[in-house]
Amino acid sequence: MLVPRAETSDQVAFQDVYGSCWIGRKALMLKILSVIYKMVQNNTYATKRDIYYSDTLLFGSQSVVDNIVNDISCMLKIPRRSLHIGKGVPDLNTRLLVRKLWDTCHIPIFTLMDADPHGIEIMCIYKYGSVSMSFEAHHLTVPAIRWLGLLPSDIERLNIRKDALIPLTKQDQNKLTSMQKRPYMACQPMWKKEMEIMAASKMKAEIQALTSLSSDYLSRVYLPSKLQFGGWI
């Protein structure tokens, strides 16, 4: 965050209250302004996560991007529009909607999740239901759902940069082990294999890690090739 600090009667300077070098922070702000300008010119969109993953070494952490984006919004006196996206943990209405689409439209249903234990958990809830709502699983689940990505095996196959990956925490490892022991996993050997790959690598990745390959890799390359050549399990 930048706060005004009066220098003279007709000058206003800004003091960096985050402890980072002002010159370095100014360069990062110009970098993000450049990204914003290009998106406006091309009528494209990105999340703060996308911007961070476009150059993780430069930005260092997600919070740096978050704070600078907020500063730019304040400096230019324009709102930063909220993204209206589905909740990470499947809520009842979203599960009902997906089931309704499957029943009514008879279309294939694919999941695109982060390659981490929580992403796999979300997918399992859509396919098999949750313990808390098990009595309603017959009209909340989509048994035919398929795992499109991000697969742990994709990380090595696509040679995603190491700095775009995140080490598994102890909690992640415990969750992964627990999920592998679930009875329904015996019917999903390919899912189980992907979890074994994740456990062996001790790394996880968010969907935005694909941004490290190119800003539009997800929409231009990854999804089209997966859907065209049957890259789901």
Q: Which amino acids are annotated catalytic?
A: 53
Contact 87, 175 (CB under 8 A): no
E-strand ranges in 9-130 read 11-16, 110-112
Compute how many other C-beta atoms are within 10 angstroms of the C-beta atom of residue 116.
22
Nearest to 145 by CA among 118, 109, 113, 106: 109
β-strand 2-8 against 11-16: which pairing, if any? antiparallel
Token pair 């415990």 is found at 174
Residue 166, SS3 per DSSP: strand
DSSP 90: P
Contact 161, 55 (CB under 8 A): no
Distance CA 65, CA 8 (A): 30
